[in-house]
Structure 1
Amino acid sequence: MSKQTPARACGIDFGTSNSTVGWLRPGMDTMIALEDGKITLPSVVFFNMEERRPVYGRLALHEYLEGYEGRLMRSLKSLLGSKLIKHDTSVLGTAMPFKDLLALFIGELKKRAETTAGRAFDEVVLGRPVHFVDDDIMADQEAEDTMAEVARKIGFKEVSFQYEPIAAAFDYESTLEREELVLIVDIGGGTSDFSLVRLSPDRRFYDDRHEDILATGGVHIGGTDFDKQLSLQGVMPLFGYGSRMKSGAYMPTSTHINLATWHTINSVYSQKSQLALGSMRYDIEDTQGIDRLFKLIDQRAGHWLAMEVEETKIELTHTESRAVAMDRIEAGLNVDLTRVLFESAIDALLERVRNSVTALLKDAGAAFTDVDTVFFTGGSSGIPALRNGVAAMLPNARHVEGNIFGSIGSGLAIEAKKRYG
């Protein structure tokens, strides 16, 4: 097929926090605009109870924050590989299988891409993390199978997969003028994925790149995990996390952990959860924190608080601190969250990331000094402590920043053109 002909297939990067669609077209941007001229569609669905309809992306977040009655669901990709995927959830008063929820959102991606492209897409290359599930091959394969099933259900006739960091590598390769040994560091919302790849201007046209992929690896750690730790260490103590019971024991933490985890926030609003909290209030020495917790739950402000924490994480990539005002919970209540606190909170997670990079290089039989370039991509790849930690391991490597949200989608589009024409 001529290089001047638009590709038949698209590439979809269904992300934990943001999603994109790429399509190779001569003389045009690879990434397709999905919402308000932007290439990303936040992976969010809001079921608007008043108007009985689902809303997606930024508009979903806007309607939720404006106070519309309904249910907000985010971090949908985290369902893949979890036990929840086989169950239902309550949506607009009816039971909806979680698989159908995924189909709803990925189907919206397909519909918006086709509307912008002015044509249908029957073939797709889907991005996937190196590991949906750590250390469980069967669960990992089941997660991929579920995603393929969903893609076929929404109308794709041909479905294939590419590792997300490999897709990012192909995007970077399109800019090269000489051969390089490249470590791709892809830190997304749910996973940290790594690939050691040999790239060059000549190799980019090869159909079979198996020998150029020296090793792949990763861990189930991403931006939502960093959010969770920042929330637990910096915010949840205001709501009773770490409080002592009269017996001397610590207050049970399940409610705080659920509030700090995007896809479990709704569970704290259940009658069972609130009754359990109420029964323990009288056994707590200082009830100030748990009383604030009741106010937060009464206002259903869990997602609002999670968004404040996420925004703080983003701000701390380029500032030393951010003040979070919580007057909606209690007049004058605020907390100053610092980069030092954040880095301390995620230190154990970053150690696992560094260990994964070490294991990857060992698998490839490569020395730390062999790596020419570190290519950073993914929404959480800008965290200074993460970058500095990886950089310190690779003394000879230069650092390149890809399109944080577009590199994977672009690489998947390149792969889609190769596979389907």
Structure 2
Amino acid sequence: MSQACGVDFGTSNSTVGWHRPGQSALLALEEDKVTLPSVVFFNVEDDEVTYGRAALTNYLAGYEGRLMRSMKSLLGTSLMDGQTEVQGKALPFRQLLAQFIGELKQRAERSAGTSFTRAVLGRPVHFIDDDSTADRLAQDTLEQIARAAGFTEVQFQYEPIAAAFDYESRISKEELVLIADIGGGTSDFSLVRLSPERASKFDRKDDILGNGGVHIGGTDFDKYLSLTHVMPLLGLGGRLGSQIDVPSSYYFNLATWHTINLVYTQKVWRELQEVYRDINNADLRLRFERLLNLVEERDGHWLAIKSEEAKILLSDEQNISLSLNRLRSKQPTQPCQLILDQDGLQASIAHLTTNIGNTVAEVLRTANIRPDQVDTVFFTGGSSGVRGLRQQIGSIVPAATKVEGDLFGSIGAGLGLDATRRFR
């Protein structure tokens, strides 16, 4: 058995792959589950740090502390060299990411019963769109963080290529496959020739016909669903007595996972109080009071979780009614409900799915591949279940067979296979 592993550090969920003949390709990371949500909660009351589902449970139970999610989105941005405050102390974001990846490594080692010092890490086709310098910086930063977490040898593989290796392990004949990896932070695509015979080759560069990606993913769907349908319940779009719009920056920060904590500062609280005093419309006052209460109770991550829940429910349902019971104003009112249908979701994210569709078309064009030449579209990534997005991609290659992989595990499994090949 290989002593090297594959690490899929995801925006929303993370996995670790380890190639063992006849056994699962993924290691259990949280009890019997092979995924670990990419979440850290610093519990101030009990002075402890929890990860994954346990972190979300503690946060939603109302413990005082700081929740951090979508940490991967910091890579390649100016925020990466910043810090946040935890229990009155400054915590650099680099240290935060190293702490999470270190925890991921330790859990994988306990599950495997061996230590891992070598790893292939997954990376999106583009960490940062249209900026090769920032993109390279993001990979270099992730390598430094992985080494700080205890890996002494680190290599990288594109995430959709890793998913291709996982799919290839299950096919019986050659196929030209479009890998559609829709993750939490990015959408990545690869055109790859796959077959059982090609799988034994170490050098696969001639089999990769095209790559492309865009920095749009599930957290962006959550964000625009929230801005379109949730944030108006808190006053977004309202007009103040001075006939100017309610400032939108607070709502954009609350709708974006890695900026939620920015609304909890004393400066922002004073600004919100000033805005409230300039409201003379009774309905807007009620809605803005919900925002004030949400910020005071630090329930921003709860609201983001509810937006994500709405998106997930609409992957299967045509209509949903979602209770938003923590949205409260000074006056007793009926519990807030989010009523949403499939058309409402698609309208809020149409500009994103169109952009993703254009990226797919560009991958085909630059690879000089006609849509009718694609045999299979292989969907992976937790956000590939969004119905309108699948329809958008499917319409570009209508004759291709649509196959759903392990939405959360294909990349980690493929990285584990790749690690065995590279470090054998």
Aligned counterparts of 2:396 and 2:307: Cα–Cα separation in 1: 29
Q: Secondary structure at the match of 2:384?
A: coil
Residue 86 (structure 2) pairs with residue 88 (structure 1): no
Letter in 1 for 2:91: M
What's the counterpart of residue 166 of structure 1? 161
Letter in 1 for 2:368: G
Does structure 1 conserve the Cα–Cα contact (< 8 Å) formed by 2:16 and 2:108? Answer: yes
Query: Given the two structures, how large is their TM-score scaled by the length of structure 2?
Result: 0.96
Aligned counterparts of 2:400 and 2:324: Cα–Cα separation in 1: 43
Does structure 1 conserve the Cα–Cα contact (< 8 Å) formed by 2:146 and 2:154? Answer: yes
What's the counterpart of residue 35 of structure 2? 40
Which of the numbers 256, 259, 263 marks the counterpart of 1:261?
256
Which of the numbers 340, 343, 348 marks the counterpart of 1:337?
340
Letter in 2 for 1:112: R
Q: How many residues align?
A: 416
Aligned counterparts of 2:128 and 2:324: Cα–Cα separation in 1: 36
Aligned counterparts of 1:133 and 1:93: Cα–Cα separation in 2: 32
Residue 404 (structure 2) pairs with residue 401 (structure 1): yes
| Cα-to-partner distance string for 1:213-266 (whole Å, 9 max, x where unaligned) | 011001000000000001011110010000012343321100001111111111
Deviates more, 1:185-194 or 1:75-84: 75-84
| Cα-to-partner distance string for 1:131-150 (whole Å, 9 max, x where unaligned) | 00000000000000011001
Report the Cα offset of residue 285 of structure 1.
4.3
Aligned counterparts of 1:411 and 1:326: Cα–Cα separation in 2: 39
Q: Output aligned runs, 1:99-178, within 5 Å.
A: 99-178=94-173
Does structure 2 conserve the Cα–Cα contact (< 8 Å) formed by 1:244 and 1:285? Answer: no
Q: Secondary structure at the match of 2:383?
A: coil
Does structure 1 conserve the Cα–Cα contact (< 8 Å) formed by 2:45 and 2:63? Answer: yes
Residue 380 (structure 2) pairs with residue 380 (structure 1): no
Does structure 2 conserve the Cα–Cα contact (< 8 Å) formed by 1:321 and 1:337? Answer: yes
Q: Secondary structure at the match of 1:162?
A: strand
| Cα-to-partner distance string for 1:193-219 (whole Å, 9 max, x where unaligned) | 000111111100000000110110010
What's the counterpart of residue 3 of structure 1? none
Which of the numbers 63, 68, 77 marks the counterpart of 2:72?
77
Does structure 1 conserve the Cα–Cα contact (< 8 Å) formed by 2:39 and 2:70? Answer: yes
What's the counterpart of residue 245 of structure 2? 250
Q: Output aligned runs, 1:253-402, within 5 Å.
A: 253-286=248-281, 287-330=285-328, 331-332=333-334, 333-402=336-405
Aligned counterparts of 2:190 and 2:279: Cα–Cα separation in 1: 49
Unaligned stretches of 5+ residues in structure 2? none
Letter in 1 for 2:51: Y
Deviates more, 1:89-98 or 1:353-362: 89-98
Aligned counterparts of 1:123 and 1:222: Cα–Cα separation in 2: 29
Aligned counterparts of 2:164 and 2:338: Cα–Cα separation in 1: 40
Q: Secondary structure at the match of 1:300?
A: coil
Q: Secondary structure at the match of 1:172?
A: helix
Aligned counterparts of 1:364 and 1:229: Cα–Cα separation in 2: 32
Deviates more, 1:245-254 or 1:209-218: 245-254
Letter in 2 for 1:348: H
Aligned counterparts of 1:250 and 1:324: Cα–Cα separation in 2: 27
What's the counterpart of residue 224 of structure 1? 219
Aligned counterparts of 1:401 and 1:327: Cα–Cα separation in 2: 35
Does structure 2 conserve the Cα–Cα contact (< 8 Å) formed by 1:196 and 1:215? Answer: yes
| Cα-to-partner distance string for 1:272-306 (whole Å, 9 max, x where unaligned) | 11111221223334222212111111221111111
Does structure 1 conserve the Cα–Cα contact (< 8 Å) formed by 2:306 and 2:324? Answer: no
Q: Output aligned runs, 1:6-17, within 5 Å.
A: 6-17=1-12
Report the Cα offset of residue 417 of structure 1.
0.4
Query: Given the two structures, how large is their TM-score scaled by the length of structure 1?
Result: 0.97
Deviates more, 1:296-305 or 1:356-365: 296-305
Does structure 2 conserve the Cα–Cα contact (< 8 Å) formed by 1:371 and 1:394? Answer: yes
Q: Secondary structure at the match of 2:138?
A: helix
Q: Secondary structure at the match of 1:357?
A: helix
Unaligned stretches of 5+ residues in structure 1? 1-5
Q: Output aligned runs, 1:19-34, within 5 Å.
A: 19-34=14-29
Aligned counterparts of 1:285 and 1:401: Cα–Cα separation in 2: 52
| Cα-to-partner distance string for 1:366-421 (whole Å, 9 max, x where unaligned) | 11111110000000001110111111111220000000011000100010000001
Does structure 2 conserve the Cα–Cα contact (< 8 Å) formed by 1:321 and 1:338? Answer: yes
Aligned counterparts of 1:105 and 1:345: Cα–Cα separation in 2: 32
Residue 215 (structure 2) pairs with residue 212 (structure 1): no
Q: Percent identity?
A: 55
Does structure 2 conserve the Cα–Cα contact (< 8 Å) formed by 1:251 and 1:284? Answer: no
Q: Secondary structure at the match of 2:243?
A: coil
What's the counterpart of residue 186 of structure 1? 181
